[in-house]
Structures are given as C-alpha cells and as structure tokens.
Amino acid sequence: MPDCTGPAVVAVVGAGASGTLTAVHVARAAAAARRSVDIVLVEPAEVAEGLAYSTRDPRHRLNVPAKGMSAFPDDPEHFLRWLRRHVAVDFPAGGFAPRMQYAEYLAACLADETGGDSVRCTQVRARATDVRRHGRRLRITLDDGTSRPADAVVLATGHGAPAVSWAPEALRRSHRFVADPWRGSAAPAVRSGDEILLVGAGLTMADMAQRWGRAGVRVHVVSRHGMLPLPHARDPQSPAAAPELPDTAPLTLRDVRRVVFDAVRANDGDWRRVIDGLRPVTTTLWSRMDEHARRGFLRTAARRWDRVRHRVDPAVDAWLRERVADGSLVVHAGEVSDAREVAGGLAVELGDGTTVRAAAVFNCTGTCVAVQQDEDPLVLNLLNAGTAQAGPLDLGFATDPAGRLVPASGPAASIWAIGPLRRGQLWESTAVPEIRSQAADLAADLVATLPAPSLRRRARDPYGLPLTATDGAAQAYVEALGRILRVQSGAEDLLAEAVSTDPDFALGHAVQALLGVEWGADVDVASSLHAAHRAMAKGDERERRFVEVATARVREPGAASAASLLAYIQTYPEDALAVSIAVPTIAFGGATEIPAEAWALVEGLTPAYGGDWWHRGLLAFVRQEQGRWDEARELADRSLAEEPAAGHAVHARTHVHYETGDHAAGLAWLDGWITTCGARASHRAHFSWHAALHELALGDDRAALRRYTGQLAPPTVSGVRALVDSASLLWRGYVNGAWGSADVGEVLASVPADLVADPPTPFIGLHAAVALAAAGDCQGLARLRRSASRRPEPAFRDTLAPLADALADLVHGDADRATEELLGLRGVEALGGSAAQREIVEETLILAATRAGRHDVARGILLGRLERRRSPRNTRRCAQLPG
C-alpha cells in the first residue's frame, strides 16, 4: 500500500532567492502534474530576502538589468512587467532596480503560485541542522530542538560566510573587524570624518562603499589587483553568439583562453557581448576541463573572470570613480599584512607599506564554498553521514544533472541542491539567470519522484505514522496507544477490539503480545505473535519491522533484541510506542538497565517530538534521575498542563517531591491526582507506593499501613506489580521500624512462582529477593542466587546473586556478615528502576548495620540522606542510634 496520504511535503532549506525560486517552480511543476504539495520553507529571516536582497538601502541595486531578472526562463520579461505595474510604468528594460524590489517581486511570485487549493506554502522560522532518512521519508532537524518530516528536501542555503584566513590574528580578534558585512551583529561605531577599510574590490565592496561613503566617511579599498568592479555598458547590445568549442577532450586552460580571446577578436573587441554570449556554454566549458585545468583556472583566472562576468550598474561605477577623483575613496593594490589597536581605531598595515588608520575593517573578499571546511552543522552532518559528498575541487556538493545529491555510498536520498552548493559541478551557479534554470529543472525532477498519492487515505497514529488497518481498528488502536502513553488501564481491551475488528492488523497483534509479556495482560502471547506474522505481509515496511522487533523481544529478551529495538527507533523515531518500550519506566522494562543509556535515548529524540506532552513527561523523568529537580518539575508541570493524566509526568513530579524532601506537599498533591486523573492509571499501585513512601518519611506509619491495606494488598494488586510495589513496601516499612513484621505471604501467593525463582530482568530479581527476605525464605533466596549466578548478564551474576546471599545471611541472623556483603555490593544501579526503588538495598544495609552494632555505618548513611533531603523519620532514626 502506498505510504503517502494527502499532499506530499517538500521542504526547502533557505528562502533567499535560490529557495524562493525553487518553491515557485516546485509549485508550478506540481500544479502541472496535478499533484497536491505542501511546501515548507525553513528560513529564520524573511522569505525572498536572503543575503543579497535583505538590504533596505535603495542605493543597493541589482547587478543585472531588469530584462534579465525574470523568475521564469520561458518568460524573460516577467520581472520587467512587474516593475512597470508596481514601480514605474516606463521602467527601462536595461534599468537596474533596487534589490529590495526584487525581494518583493519574488515574494509576489511565490504568493501567486501557491495561492490555490492544491499547493500550500508555509514558513518555519528556524535553521536546519541535519537531514536524515527515516523510513521512506526524510526528517529535518532544526536548531530550535524540533524536527519536520518531508518527502523531498532542497538545499538552498545560498552563499556561505566569507573566508577570513587572509586576516592577521590581531585583526580577527578586534571588535572593529566585521568578518561578514551581511550577517551577524551591527558594525562598530563609525562617525562622519572617520576612515574605514574594505578588503576586497568586488560587488560587496561597492555596496559597502555606497553605504559608508555617502555618510562622510573616507573609504579605503585594498585588493590584490587594486581595480574597481567593471560596469555594464550604458547602452548594452545583445549577447554575441556562443562560440564553437574545440573537439579536444579534456579542454586545457589554454584551450579555454583561446576560445574566449578568439571570440572577443571576432566581435571587434566587445568583451561584454562575448562574456554574455558565453553564458549558455559556460557549464559545458567547465565540465570539459579536467581537474588540473580547473585548478589552474581558480589559481590564475577566476578573479579576472568574476570581474568581467559580474558587473555593476553604470551609475554605481560612475559614483565610485567620482569618489576616487575627489579623494574620498582610495584604492590600494596589495594585501593586509598586520593590524594593531590604536586610540580610536585600528592601524592596518598593507603590503606596500601603507598604514590605514581605520575605525572599522569590513571583509568584502567574497564567500568561501569549500564544503569540507564549512562549519555549518547542516553541511557537516550531511557529509559525515555520507548523505552528501564534496563536489569537484571541494566547491559545493556533488550532484547529478538535475541537482540531486550524489551520496558517498548507497542509494541517493530525495535531497537536491541549488545555487552556490553546485558551483563545483557547474561553476556559474550564483546568479539569478542560472539559478532560475536550475530551479525549473530541479522542480520537474523532484515532482516526478514524489510518492504517488494513495487511492484511500490511510489512518495514522498521533505522531503521523500510517496504520494498515480498517478505520474502526485504527481508531481503537489509536485510543489504546493513547492509554499506553498516559500509563492508563484498558489498552489491552482496546487492542483486542482492534484485532477483532480487523484480524489482518499485524501491528495490533504484535502490540497485544508485548503487553502480555511486559504488563502481564491476559493475552495468549503465542497466538498473538502467530497472527501478527500471518498478517505482516499486508503491512508497510515499518509495521513489518515492528512485528520482527516485537517477536525478538518476546522470544529472546536480552542484548540482541534490545539492539534490534534501538535500531528500529533510529529509523522510526516518531514511534512513541517503541520508544516507550525501550525506556525503562513504570510501564516497560526498557532496552537497557543502564540509566545513562536511557537518558541519552530520550534526550536524543527531542527533535522528533519537540514540545509533545508525552515526550516532555518522559524527559522530566530523565531530569529527576539526573538530579536536575527544577528542570524536572518544570517539564512535568508543562506536560500535565496539556495532558492532566500524563503518567510519566506525574511519576517525575512525584520523584521530585520525594528526592527533595517535600513530603507533605508531595503527599497532598499525589493523593489528589490518584483520586481524580489517576483513577484510570494502569500502574495506580505504584503511585500508591510513592504516597506510602511519603507517609513513612513523615513518620505516619498508620497511614502507610492503611494505604497498603486499601490500595496495595492482593487481590487489588497482583503479579509483577504486587512484587515490585506491595512486597517492597512491606519490607521497607519493616526495615524502617514502622511495623514489627513483613507478612508477604498473600503477596507471594499472587505472584507466579517462576517470576520469583527465575526473574526475567534484574529489576524484578531485586524485588523477588526482597520479597523472599520479607518471607524469611532462605531456600527461596538460595534458588534465586543459583539462578542469577548462571545468567551471563553482569547485573544478575555480579549484583543480584551476592545480594541474595546477603539477604539470606540477614534472615539467618548473621547481621555482621550481611553488612559486609552489602557494603561490598557493586552494580546496584544496573539492577534498573529508579533511585527511590533501588534505595531499598540501602535501607536493608541500615537495618543490618544497626543489628550488627555497627552504628557508625548506619549513621553515615542516614546523615548522607539528610544532606540530600529532609525526612522526619531519618532524623529520628539517626538520633536514636547509640553513640
């Protein structure tokens, strides 16, 4: 079944001229193909401006006449007509419009092309930091911590930052040095009568000279050749015919020079007409040169080519020459050799021995497009992942003829590049006439590769993942998923309804099997897995992989299935159910018992979920595990404000109250939640356990016992939860002196015997050991120790087995030996669960040390706790210790 429902999503990264032209042509191509498309422009600034057109200075003009700046190759006068409608009815075809008007024109074109029902355009004000495959689609990571899915991505990032390697270190360190005149913070204070230095003599220099030279500032310009930009002709002629190219292959640099100079001679020395006529064949010339010739061109001819190719408005040229004549613009040939701070400015030494005293130095040397030296996170991540590779001479990315990225290995992703990112492949790839042609070709290729729309709209889960199920089954599944994410009861019944409604719903059967294992739900696990495998061929790729992951987790719990689950999440990070299974919480055992690994997983998925209430609650739990209480509380409260029944957020806030010693307020808040929003919590027993911990900490032993009897005693709670919550509370109350015995007989009777004798996880093993100790069952502890010793996992072999020995010694009455064994116990953190749950080992050590008369050990533990959090009980226990 196709995996596209509704409009395809095309993301354009960057919305300057390149990005806006791309969006315009994608919209046109989609409309021509009768395809519905959502275009997403990823751009923090205003659409259509970019670096070149963001200026609001009317003196900054286009460098190409109006007749050459149409957005559409097949309609060359489109921009001219727009100018005559919106600016001046008699705007000349050879006139040079202010650049800010071109930005307005591009924005108008975009609005015209995306104004219908089938093509929509939205802007995301952020910067892209990565693009990765996720299943059949792509996911764009943004610098605001969120991410967006897309079916195709176009990289239209424009020019990179100018190179600064030419600048002496003292100059680079100075606040008077403006490394990029079009980006970053405001320029240093420059007053009328000051002098400034512009390094570089191209188009940026012309802009900066106009900006500052008209403000009574004397402008110095330094470049290697010491020549101003060349102007367009005041009365431009039509381009010369493109010259015939020699048949030799590859072309040498001498061949190319001969082609150009012969053409100039053939056109009576009118080099402007020749250069303009070369435009259609420039890419062919470049592609037919070998690497040696191209490098020679960059080294010896590129600057001269840029000077004749990228010319200025004749009016700008006249103004520059007038300023040279009156001495307010001084041009130097050479390089910057040194700089030092002096009063009121910088003393900048030039290679010819001249010293310029400058209030500011502007870097006008042009952009650096060596991608492997680029510090842009997006470029770095694409290269590191092999999604892209450097183009010829490290100028931009390698692309195919339509602009699609050529990966370092493997199949190409649906990612295209346009503009300066293709310079290594095309050379001429920075001006509008070239970019509009690229945009048109790219758009046709891109739209042709978009996934075909499905004949029937598929249901999706809350995070956009498609479901291969009937509408009724999908609806029941989505509701079940919501309950799982909220940690509410009833999910298993809704899943049963889903697979009953649609027996071919493979995903529903697989999730049923997982709940049978993880939650102890009343499910025939083997039959559910069999049904999932029978139907999985009808699902999509993601659903088939999930069935395989679920099968491995049921049949082969351990490192291999955990790795399979984590690999699945890497491909499908939006699968919140899979993430829930992988993170050890009250709901699931997790794919790792090492907290730091679980933390990294949750934190790393922030871009996929952004501000989602469920992920925010999960992150809140991570933050409390890290001891970042204020952050955890804030995240939990924000999650609960959106979803008051969010179980993970409640769990996180509950831990914050406990770990910070805020017992009275925590108890009041938690009790209020349990009786309202928590009434349907699937792990309500665990929240009752938390409330009882507050009561024990406050010394209200009767309240804790009443809570056990009313909310935690079997048959209200049974199975795994009885072992983890009920039995552990009885033991904790006993070792704290809240009651004289820990009668766990009815609890153990409600727990399957194999769960105690041969626990599936170290975490369950910890609570099995505690329950056996509470029951005084030394034989059971011995069986548990033997079982744990035979397991290969260190948490079983090296931690749980010695813990069972220590508890058996305590039950036997050898408190001193139990104390030594518990003091030497390592790897308790690897047993899993929360710090509050693992604390039961420490509680047991306090009891053993007290019985052994080793009051210094008990006192040291209690004092350490009191430094972390307040507790009336621990204060009293510490005071009651002899000595």
pLDDT, one tens digit per residue, over 150-170 is 999 999 998 888 888 899 999
Give residue 824's pLDDT.
Answer: 95
Give residue 475's pLDDT.
Answer: 92
**Same structural domain for residues 815 and 866?**
yes
Give residue 715's pLDDT.
Answer: 92
Give residue 374's pLDDT.
Answer: 83
In the predicted model, is pLDDT for residue 820 greater than 50? yes
CA-CA-CA-CA torsion sign (240, 241, 242, 247): negative
Structural domain harbouring 208? 169-231+314-363
Label residue 2 by pLDDT band (50, 70, 90): very low
In the predicted model, is pLDDT for residue 29 greater than 80? yes
**Same structural domain for residues 730 and 831?**
yes
Residue that terminates a domain, selected from 449, 470, 492? 449
Q: What is the CATH number of the domain that holds 83?
A: 3.50.50.60
The H-assigned helical ranges of 792-880 are 794, 801-812, 815-823, 835-851, 855-868, 872-880
Residue-level length of the chain: 883
Amino acid type, 755: L
Of residues 619 and 184, which shows the higher confidence score? 619
- What do you get for the CA distance between the two ends of the chain, in Å? 76
476-522 pLDDT, tens digit each: 999 999 999 998 889 999 999 999 999 999 999 999 999 988 877 88
Could you give the number of structural domains in the chain?
Answer: 4
Q: What is the DSSP string of 225-293?
A: S--PPPBPPSSPPPPPPPPPPPS-SSBPHHHHHHHHHHHHHHTTT-HHHHHHHTGGGHHHHHHHB-HHH
Torsion of CA 845, 846, 847, 849, to 10 degrees: 80
Give CB contacts under 8 A, 24+ apart, made by 267-273.
267/240, 270/237, 270/240, 271/308, 272/232, 272/233, 272/236, 272/237, 272/308, 272/311, 273/237, 273/238, 273/239, 273/240
Coil vs helix vs strand at 512: helix
526-574 pLDDT, tens digit each: 999 999 999 999 999 999 999 999 999 988 877 788 899 999 998 899 9
Phi-psi region of 34 (alpha: psi -120 to 50; beta: other; left: phi over 0): left
733-764 pLDDT, tens digit each: 999 999 988 889 999 999 999 889 999 889 89
In the predicted model, is pLDDT for residue 821 greater than 60? yes
359 near 189, Cβ under 8 Å? Answer: yes
Burial (CB < 10 A; 0-12, 13-18, 19+), residue 511, is buried
Q: Where are the beta strands (DSSP E) in 70-212?
A: 119-124, 128-134, 137-142, 147-150, 152-155, 177-178, 195-199
Give residue 482's pLDDT.
Answer: 92
Q: What is the mean pLDDT of the chain?
A: 90
Mean pLDDT within 322-330: 94
> What's the rounded Cα separation, in Å, for the pair 188 and 388?
38
Label residue 371 by pLDDT band (50, 70, 90): confident
Give residue 238's pLDDT.
Answer: 87
**Same structural domain for residues 744 and 826?**
yes
Of residues 707 and 135, which shows the higher confidence score? 707
590 near 584, Cβ under 8 Å? Answer: yes
Mean pLDDT within 362-368: 84
Percent of the chain with pLDDT over 70: 98
Omega before 715 cis (within 30°)? Answer: yes
Tokens of 517: 């294992």
Instruction: List 251's β-bridge partners, or say none.
Output: 289
Does a structural domain hold residue 511?
A: no
Tokens of 365: 């040397």
Give residue 54's pLDDT.
Answer: 83
Does a structural domain hold residue 459?
A: no
In the predicted model, is pLDDT for residue 65 greater than 50? yes
Does a structural domain hold residue 326?
A: yes
In the 8-state DSSP scheme, what is residue 186?
P
Helix, strand, coil proportions of the chain in percent (round to 5)? Answer: 55, 10, 35
Look at 102-111, 135-144, 268-277 and tell me which has the smallest mean pLDDT. 135-144
Look at 135-144, 343-352, 539-548, 857-866 and tell me which has the smallest mean pLDDT. 135-144
Does a structural domain hold residue 138?
A: yes
Give residue 669's pLDDT.
Answer: 93
The CA distances from residue 504 to 4, 62, 173, 499, 538, in Å, are 21, 62, 67, 7, 8
Give residue 186's pLDDT.
Answer: 61
Question: Using alpha carbons only, how large is the chain's radius of gyration in Å?
Answer: 36
Give residue 649's pLDDT.
Answer: 94
- Helix 541-555 and helix 506-518: axis angle, to 10°? 30
**Same structural domain for residues 393 and 276?**
no
- 3 state SS for 703-752: HHHHHHHHHHCCCCCCHHHHHHHHHHHHHHHHHCCCCCCCCCHHHHHCCC
Of residues 25 and 596, which shows the higher confidence score? 25
Label residue 249 by pLDDT band (50, 70, 90): confident
Does a structural domain hold residue 681?
A: no
**Same structural domain for residues 744 and 864?**
yes
Give residue 184's pLDDT.
Answer: 61
Task: Name, in order, each residue with C-beta under 8 angstroms of 859's C-beta and a sequence gap of 6 or more.
Answer: 878, 881
**Same structural domain for residues 122 and 28?**
yes
197-229 pLDDT, tens digit each: 999 999 999 999 998 887 789 999 999 999 999
Label residue 369 by pLDDT band (50, 70, 90): low
**Same structural domain for residues 746 and 868?**
yes
Give residue 435's pLDDT.
Answer: 93
**Same structural domain for residues 821 and 868?**
yes
Task: Name, in order, each residue with C-beta under 8 angstroms of 405's C-beta and a sequence gap of 6 or more.
Answer: 155, 382, 387, 388, 397, 398, 399, 412, 413, 415, 416, 417
Does a structural domain hold residue 504?
A: no
**Same structural domain for residues 45 and 148?**
yes
CA-CA-CA-CA torsion sign (367, 372, 376, 378): positive
**Same structural domain for residues 116 and 74?**
yes
Give CB contacts under 8 A, 24+ apart, made by 622-627.
622/598, 623/652, 624/652, 624/655, 624/656, 624/659, 625/595, 625/599, 625/655, 625/834, 625/835, 626/599, 627/659
Give residue 216's pLDDT.
Answer: 82
Residue that terminates a domain, selected from 449, 467, 484? 449
Residue that terminates a domain, selected from 427, 449, 471? 449
> What's the rounded Cα separation, in Å, for the pair 309 and 299?
17
Give residue 1's pLDDT.
Answer: 32
Burial (CB < 10 A; 0-12, 13-18, 19+), residue 247, is exposed
In the 8-state DSSP scheme, what is residue 411?
S
Coil vs helix vs strand at 345: strand
Percent of the chain with pLDDT over 90: 67
Does a structural domain hold residue 558?
A: no
∠ at Cα 284 (280, 285), nearest 5°? 100
Mean pLDDT within 618-640: 94
> What's the rounded Cα separation, in Å, for the pair 531 and 499?
9
**Same structural domain for residues 383 and 356?**
no
**Same structural domain for residues 385 and 437?**
yes
Coil vs helix vs strand at 400: coil
78-119 pLDDT, tens digit each: 999 999 999 999 999 999 999 999 999 999 999 999 977 789
Coil vs helix vs strand at 487: coil
Mean pLDDT within 379-401: 92
Label residue 454 by pLDDT band (50, 70, 90): low
Mean pLDDT within 761-787: 94
Omega before 44 cis (within 30°)? Answer: no
Does a structural domain hold residue 527?
A: no
In the predicted model, is pLDDT for residue 182 greater than 90? no
Give residue 339's pLDDT.
Answer: 95
